[in-house]
């Protein structure tokens, strides 16, 4: 994990259990699965997604895949691009893996906060 991601992770952690109150974007696939989120934090907008199989909401079972595998890996990064930042951001839902555009998410967060559908 690089320094940018560590800063983003710390900023997201400071939001505590009321993280959803700070959510700027909720990214969903065409089937309404949660793909990723963008949150307003003290260091700016932070992107967060789970790569791999995981639960989708508070009523889902604990993050256990159908075959008993481990929970997906959390990916966190500052949304603002740095000099070495890739435009592609990894994400995942039951439909499979996604690559989201950092540039598009920045535009979406500025123009129309709320739920964004990808795909």
Tell me the average confidence (pLDDT) per consecutive run of 10 residues in the chain, 119 residues long. Answer: 94 94 97 96 97 58 49 90 90 94 97 93
DSSP labels, 49-70: EEESS---STTSPSS--TTS-P
Contact 86, 79 (CB under 8 A): no
Q: What's the confidence (pLDDT) of residue 53?
A: 64
Question: What's the whole-model pTM score?
Answer: 0.84
pLDDT at site 71: 62
Q: SS3 for 80?
A: coil
Write down the pLDDT at residue 29. 97
């Amino acid at each position: 994990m690089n320094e940018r991601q560590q800063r983003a992770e710390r900023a997201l952690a400071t939001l505590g259990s009321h993280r959803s109150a700070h959510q700027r974007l909720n990214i969903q696939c065409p089937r309404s699965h949660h793909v990723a989120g963008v949150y307003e934090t003290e260091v700016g907008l932070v992107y967060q997604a789970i790569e791999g199989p995981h639960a989708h909401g508070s009523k889902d079972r604990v993050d256990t895949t159908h075959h008993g595998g481990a929970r997906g890996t959390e990916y966190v990064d500052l949304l603002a691009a740095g000099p070495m930042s890739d435009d592609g951001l990894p994400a995942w839902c039951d439909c499979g893996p996604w690559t989201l555009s950092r540039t598009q998410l920045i535009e979406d967060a500025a123009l129309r906060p709320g739920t964004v559908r990808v795909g």
